[in-house]
Amino acid sequence: MKENQYDYIIVGAGSAGCVLANRLTEDSENRVLLLETGGSDKSIFIQMPTALSIPMNTKKYAWQFETEPEPYLDNRRMHCPRGKVLGGSSSINGMVYVRGHARDFDEWQSEGADGWNYRNVLPYFKKAETWAFGGDAYRGNSGPLGVNNGNNMRNPLYTAFIRAGVDAGYLETDDYNGARQEGFGAMHMTVKNGRRWSTANAYLRPAMARPNLTVVTHALVHKVLLEGKTATGVRYEQGGQVHEAKAAKEVILSAGSIGSPHLLQLSGIGKREVLEQAGIEVKHELPGVGENLQDHLEFYFQFRCQKPVSLNGKLDWWNKLKIGVRWILRKDGLGATNHFESCGFIRSKAGVEWPDLQYHFLPAAMRYDGREAFDGDGFQLHIGHNKPKSRGFVHVQSADPKQAPRIRFNYLEHEADREGFRDCVRLTREIINQPAMDEYRGAEIQPGVDVQSDEQIDAFVRQAVESAYHPSCSCKMGTDALAVVDPETRVRGIQNLRVVDSSIFPTIPNGNLNAPTIMVAERAADLIRGREPLQPSDAPVFMDDQWQARQRPGQAKRSLA
């Protein structure tokens, strides 16, 4: 058994781990080991944005987790891929850049994550990014993460969708990551110079030139090593050999919302009944480990398109070849975008304070994994209820680190979540039937016009919804009985051990999770290094001043609060 000495050991080279590896090695005195189970991310299928469906569905690049039968989804088992490659899930995701609403982070503060409200986290969002259209009170202009709008909505369907939202009485927002999330507008993506801008590209590659960073790939971590209530290192396997690495300062788990709770449990940290049932000695009882699991669901609202402007005409092998060759030679064209170039964030009903429904608009009718393309021209909206009340779990099954944990989200267990998806169906139909879509809108393919009643919508949703691939909150940050880490990201009751990734979110934000995960790692890096946090922001945020009485603000008086 080989042993090595470092100051910090980071487990997982994903959206958070790459950020930490970069920021901690800015101090040349810190010796950092970064462990990743996967390997290189240099595949064209990872780097070319339009190929996003391939790495997500490839065992080489992603853990192909599957849930237990979900009892409220007709016992369907749901696909739960997680990145297993340098860059982690930022190397296999859809590259959509959404921070979440300001109130999402104020909600974290109210849940006991002191210091993580919007005023405090906005500066870290800015620190992380370079926004293609320049910095301001909300956007950064000198960070590692390149963010833009792909092909700037050249397809006319993108702007037609935005106009339809305005026709329906919603607002148009010029930057949903800025002062106003609520409304319809251009969508942002983590793409730079036509290439996927994962945290491996943005953060890790520059850091790998530093002599104080060691990156070990194809390394499966077995457990965190403990001496009493102090983390001293990790045990991992590489190439059939078992190694131990020691951390003089801290071990940091950044293995994601499935991997991090699983590793804690493998190490004897978690709920007593879960550990004992798996035959694992309880080293530290912490009942919240693996609990509070949350995710976003979505379904595809599909329509025929009356004009030959959709991407369905580009899905044959010849056009795919031309798109790929152009991207290889020039890094532009349809190969350089994820195709989600317009979007919407709305509130499902009056009395909802901030948006809880999200639209990704796609000028094609196809599955997220690229299969089952619709015959003929079409377009679709990915729509989901983004503030679920249902909660699930991640539970270790045995002491064997190679055995996947039990995963169950309990999707749609809560009636409020089912109501949210009924709203998704009815509000979407209203939006797409606005005049702006008249020249494009054809027949409704899915759900189908016969799906009208609550019962019919519920049945459709149970069969049609898919994960949006946003597992989170399974090692929640806070101070209550289920909190796993404190507001400093330290595991409660264990010295020298932290968790820094999307598992520590107290609640899931209204949006995709890559951006807030990167923000969490940026802020955590300052906490770990003992640096003064960035100056809080006083930038105002739009809130509809009549949210309690109306579902959409229309063109009425707008307020900044």
81 neighbors 469 (Cβ within 8 angstroms): yes
- The rounded mean pLDDT for the chain is 95
Residue 322 lies in a domain: yes
> Would you list which residues are annotated within the binding site?
7-36, 85, 93-96, 221
- Write out the residue range of the structural domain in which residue 84 sits: 2-529
Residue 444 lies in a domain: yes
- The band of 371, judged by pLDDT with boundaries at 50, 70 and 90, is low
pTM of the model: 0.97
Residue 538 lies in a domain: no
pLDDT in tens, 11-59: 999 999 999 999 999 999 999 999 999 999 999 999 999 999 999 999 9
> Would you list which residues are annotated within the binding site for FAD?
7-36, 85, 93-96, 221
Residue 222 a catalytic site member: no
pLDDT in tens, 499-542: 999 999 999 999 999 999 999 999 999 999 999 999 999 999 99
Please count the structural domains in the chain.
Answer: 1
Residue 557 lies in a domain: no
Provide the pLDDT for residue 554: 73
Residue 551 lies in a domain: no
Marked catalytic residue, from 243, 296, 395, 470? 470
Provide the pLDDT for residue 316: 84
Residue 556 lies in a domain: no
105 neighbors 117 (Cβ within 8 angstroms): yes
231 neighbors 495 (Cβ within 8 angstroms): yes
The domain that holds 63 is classified in CATH as 3.50.50.60
How far, in Å, CA of 97 to CA of 108, rounded?
A: 20
Residue 548 lies in a domain: no
Please report where in the chains the tokens 């530290």 appear, as a residue. Answer: 284
Q: Which two tokens stand for residue 356?
A: 């809880």
DSSP result, 147-199: EB-TTTS-SHHHHHHHHHHHHTTPPB-S-TTTT--SEEEE--B-EETTEE--H
Residue 550 lies in a domain: no
